[in-house]
Amino acid sequence: MSIVHAVFAPGFFSNGPVQAALVMGAVVAAVCAPVGVLAVLRGQSFAGHAFADITSTGGSAAVLLGISPVLGFAASAAAGAASMEGLGARQHGDRDLVTGTVLGGALGLSALLLYLSTTRQGTSGATVSVLFGSVFAVSSANWPWVAALGLPALALVAAAYRPLLLSSVSPELAAARGVRSHLVGAMYLAALAASVALAALTIGAVLSTALLVGPAAAALGLSSRPGRAMAWAGAIGVTSVWAGIVLAYDSYSWPPAGRGWPVSFFVVALVMAFYAASRAGAHRHGRSPAGKAA
Amino acid sequence: MPKPPTPLPATSSGTASSGTASSGTGSPEDASSGVGAGTRPTQPAQRPRVLSVEDLGVRLGGRQVLSDVSFHLCEGEVAGLIGSNGAGKTTLLRAVLGLTPVSSGRVSVAGGRGRHQAVGYVPQKVVLDADLPVRARDLVQLGQDGHRWGLPLPSAAKRAATEELLAGVGALHLADARVGQLSGGELQRVLVAHALAGRPRLLLLDEPLANLDLHSARDTVALLDCIARQQGIAVLMSTHDVNPLLGVMDRVVYLAGGRAATGSTDDVVRSDVLSSLYGHHVDVLHAHGRVIVSVGDDSHSDDGCDAVPASAGVLVGGPVHRGAGAR
Ligand SMILES: Nc1ncnc2c1ncn2[C@@H]1O[C@H](COP(=O)(O)OP(=O)(O)O)[C@@H](O)[C@H]1O
Ligand SMILES: [Mg+2]
């Protein structure tokens, strides 16, 4: 019992925000798992990162306008997906180049909005919560948003599961099988945008890619089957979020005293630890020593 | 190129074992014993046509890559699509697949089903990350249902079909290996199984022998020959060297300068026919059961690395010549 008390500080299980955070974090990590594995397989983790920066713009704008950040996350992710899709369709060029172009614009705008928010409100609190998030601060008013983003993301990935998998193995094989790669790619981009907005809500815009791509990258070495790799990614993501919440709750009694450490720090640190462990394990079993996955 | 992770049985394509003195048709017969029932006698004239290409022309980037290409393929036939780099082999295969738009002429594939259902395709280069969480059996399964919407439901019938396809190409022992960790020859067999999974009537392979050693190349040719004869599938494969296909080809489609000469090997791989195709004198020599196509004007250039010592049976021409129509 004393060990339980040492790990879970008093009040952990009866604390409302903590319970909400546990459920919310698990849902978000579960949505991010299949989307993240596909992002890694399709070589689109950079696009995921771009969405993270774009959602930080949206979140900052929402704060400046005094509306809920999740609105900003969702709207900016949707706009980002649409513009990437538009640019990509027109120039048929290097996807990374397109993504980079969108990214540059978003970051510049983000800097302006954050500057305006800070000068107007005289505090950087909202800025920190947009960029680095706090799952404890997510209010129950956000549940409809979580459903509105998470369910379509899962539905899109489930609907296009096989074409997505085949085109990540080889776009040419997929084309030869009659896969409409543009449609399937657009469906995936929408799922990716929704997942990043969700992750931004949980651990902040800047760190959202870590929750999306980190567990996925760690999971690749753990199973040779696509579905199981997604299940592993989900397990690693949920474990990281839950353990991060426990540690963050505990950290209220840690040094700088009274305020607690940011939960996002713990979550990301745990994800990275899982990734390192999985890499080390894969290396010991003689598998590819340096995956290009991350 | 990494060694295969698993020790391969007798039907393997992994290494060039120097001791093999056989004709090369023996072991791959065993490899494909799971493919189907007995062979049929060769009666090319009476079999139904699977592929008809009529006056095909393809323009890419403002350049006429192919013009007036005509040939047909019947059930169970093996055809070689011969041509040097840039001759338009890949372009022709993609046009047959419907992936490259045709600018003139017609391509028709038998069978009312969609083009992508009736045609199986093994591209030249499939580059896979070693980490990819996809097993050989997953890839073959995707050949059956990879174009379908929705999540795959586990099915004993699909699993059995997948294993039968893998056994048919002598790759059942690779079923649970990650596709990114297969050797070149192993991956090719799995890709053939993937292509056959859609039950096509026509199988297209782009340079299937390009990255294989002699022994594996011979195994691959024998395997494809078996698939054609036993399952009645028409096989069209591109290569820059006509020699590995000499014993199995029912038909040659020889590409040069964007045009094609087609017919039986004896009708096409001849000095007069190839000379008129290339537009200048071409020698066709026979030595030690091999054919040497000497294209002449380009072959003395600095492509020394493509040349093979004459005693080994040389192919001059294919790999040396650079399509007359290019720039
Ligand atoms: N998308 C394209 N746009 C312009 N030219 C192309 C395109 N694809 C291929 N080509 C040209 O068409 C010719 C034939 O190419 P290809 O079919 O790949 O030849 P092969 O497969 O016989 O080596 C080459 O000269 C190549 O440069
Ligand atoms: Mg080619």
- Give me the DSSP letters along B104-122: EEEEEESSSS-HHHHEEEE
Facing A226 at nearest CB: one of B117, B119, B138: B138
Summarize the confidence of residues B218-228 as an average pLDDT: 96
The verdict on B142 touching A (C-beta cutoff 8 Å) is: yes
- pLDDT, one tens digit per residue, over B243-273 is 999 989 999 999 999 999 999 988 898 888 8
Q: How many domains does chain A have?
A: 1
Cα(B255) to centroid(ligand 1), Å: 13
Cα(A248) to centroid(ligand 2), Å: 57
Whether residue A179 is contained in a domain is answered as: yes
**pLDDT for the residue numbered A19:** 84
pTM recorded for the entire structure: 0.82
Scanning B166-225 for CB atoms below 8 A from A yields 176-179, 181, 191, 194-195, 198
Give dist(CA B190, CA A118) in Å, integer.
Answer: 59
Cα(B86) to centroid(ligand 1), Å: 6
pLDDT band with cut points at 50, 70 and 90 for residue B325: very low
DSSP-based three-state secondary structure for A278: helix
Tell me which of B65, B96, B238, B255 to substitute to probe ligand 1's pocket, judged by most ligand atoms within 8 Å of the beta carbon.
B65
Statement: residue B314 has pLDDT above 50? no
**pLDDT for the residue numbered A207:** 82
Looking at CA atoms only, how far is residue B130 from chain A in angstroms?
6
- pLDDT, one tens digit per residue, over A72-84 is 888 888 888 887 7
**pLDDT for the residue numbered A47:** 80
Residues forming a β-bridge with B51: B73, B109
Give dist(CA A190, CA A72) in Å, integer.
Answer: 16
Residues with CB under 5 Å of ion ligand 2 are: B 89-90
Cα(B70) to centroid(ligand 2), Å: 19
Whether residue A95 is contained in a domain is answered as: yes
**pLDDT for the residue numbered A273:** 94
Summarize the confidence of residues B217-234 as an average pLDDT: 95
**pLDDT for the residue numbered B315:** 39
**pLDDT for the residue numbered B297:** 58
Question: At A249, which CATH number?
Answer: 1.10.3470.10
Take atom 27 of ligand 1 and give the residue whose Cα is closest: B86
SS3 content of chain B, % helix, strand, coil (to 5): 30, 20, 45
**Tokens standing for A68?**
């809920």
Statement: residue B277 has pLDDT above 70? yes
Q: Which residues of B fall within a CB distance of 8 Å from A174?
A: 146-147
Asked whether B32 and B196 are in contact (CB, 8 A), the reply is no
Host domain of residue A275: 2-284
Statement: residue B116 has pLDDT above 90? no
To test the contact with chain B by mutation, choose from A41, A224, A236, A278 the residue with the greatest count of B C-beta atoms within 10 A, namely A224
**pLDDT for the residue numbered B22:** 37
**Tokens standing for A92?**
């048929």
First vs last C-alpha separation in chain A: 40
pLDDT band with cut points at 50, 70 and 90 for residue B141: very high
Closest CA to B198 of B71, B80, B320, B97: B97
Facing B151 at nearest CB: one of A161, A179, A224: A161
Which residues of chain A are modeled with pLDDT < 50? 91, 288-294
Q: Match 């538009």 to its residue by tokens.
A: A86
Q: Which residues of A fall within a CB distance of 8 Å from B135?
A: 224-225
The verdict on A173 touching B (C-beta cutoff 8 Å) is: yes
Q: Match 């771009």 to its residue by tokens.
A: A50
Whether residue A293 is contained in a domain is answered as: no
pLDDT band with cut points at 50, 70 and 90 for residue B133: very high
Give dist(CA B170, CA B161) in Å, integer.
Answer: 14
Whether residue A74 is contained in a domain is answered as: yes
Whether residue A229 is contained in a domain is answered as: yes
> What is the ipTM for the molecules in this complex?
0.86
Looking at CA atoms only, how far is residue A144 from chain B in angstroms?
25
CB contact under 8 A, A173 and B126: yes
Q: Match 């594939």 to its residue by tokens.
A: B109
Whether residue A292 is contained in a domain is answered as: no
The verdict on B111 touching A (C-beta cutoff 8 Å) is: no
**pLDDT for the residue numbered B304:** 39
Beta-strand pair B234-239/B202-205: parallel
Residue ranges of domains in chain B: 45-280
CB B43: neighbour CB atoms within 10 A?
9
Domain B45-280, architecture per CATH: 3-Layer(aba) Sandwich (3.40)
Statement: residue B5 has pLDDT above 50? no
Asked whether B63 and B71 are in contact (CB, 8 A), the reply is no
Scanning B87-106 for CB atoms below 8 A from A yields 97, 99
Beta-strand pair B119-122/B202-205: parallel
pLDDT band with cut points at 50, 70 and 90 for residue B66: very high
